Amino acid sequence: MRLAKQLAVIFVTLAILGGGILIFSYDVIRFEWTSFMEQQASFRAQEQPLPVPALSIPVDGPAFIPNLGAPTNPVPPDEVSIARGENLFAINCVMCHGITGEGNGQIAALLENQPANLTQDIVQSKSDGSLFLTLTNGVTDRMPPLIENLTVRDRWDVVNYLRTLHSAQ
Ligand code: HEC
């Protein structure tokens, strides 16, 4: 009988202690512990990346550095580049801009802002570098940035392909 009582006391004591610890582990009572991972210059999901530090040199070929203007196209518009560009255009752009680039892709009708007609002078008169930046950064609230889908070389290939698009008429 005495043993049972002693065991009960030990059990209840352990249960209370254990329960006390669990309260903390499940954040029922929460302490803001210092976490050094949080104390750094970083950007969170959906936030703009930090600006490129001054005097940085892109290791991945020409890229956009704020205040340096549009880059010049380093990729000659040869057959290989245009063929690659056509392929990438079919994968990344056709759903909005259409096979002929006239802004009549399959999902265009569902968009609030109509995709640009890429055969028009207003687009074709822009410099290669300007088109490159449009693909890189997208158009705010209208066209997604493609910097994560297309490498630097890919984007120049697409720009070279865009030059081959002409109005159907
Ligand atoms: C989600 C749909 C969508 C996709 C995908 C898309 N675009 Fe666009 N794009 C748009 C819309 C909408 C506009 C019109 C923006 C505006 O009203 O200025 C646009 C505009 C443009 C312009 C003209 C920008 C200007 O400054 O006049 C170019 C060039 C362009 N897109 C190229 C591309 C290329 C190349 C791709 C694929 C790599 C692509 N877009 C993928 C929707 C899209």
* Domains of the chain by residue range: 79-162
CB of 97 sitting under 6 A from ligand 1: yes
User: What separation in Å is there between the alpha carbon of 97 and the centre of ligand 1?
Assistant: 7
Asked if residue 134 lies in contact with residue 55, where contact means CB atoms within 8 angstroms, the answer is: no
Average pLDDT value for residue range 107-130: 92
pLDDT at 96: 95
Of 97, 107, 125, the residue with max ligand 1 atoms within 8 A of its CB, to mutate for a pocket test, comes to: 97
Average of per-residue pLDDT across 6-23 = 91
Q: Is 123 in the pocket of ligand 1 (CB under 6 A)?
A: yes
The pLDDT assigned to 122 comes to: 92
Please tell me the distance between residue 51's alpha carbon and the centre of ligand 1 in angstroms: 24
* Residue pLDDT, tens place only, 62-96: 555 666 678 889 999 999 999 999 999 999 999 99
Question: And the tokens for 127?
Answer: 């410099």
Q: What is the mean pLDDT of residues 132-136?
A: 90
pTM of the model as a whole: 0.70
Compute the distance between CA of residue 115 and CA of residue 22 in angstroms, rounded to an integer. Answer: 55
Its CATH architecture, for the domain 79-162, is Orthogonal Bundle (1.10)
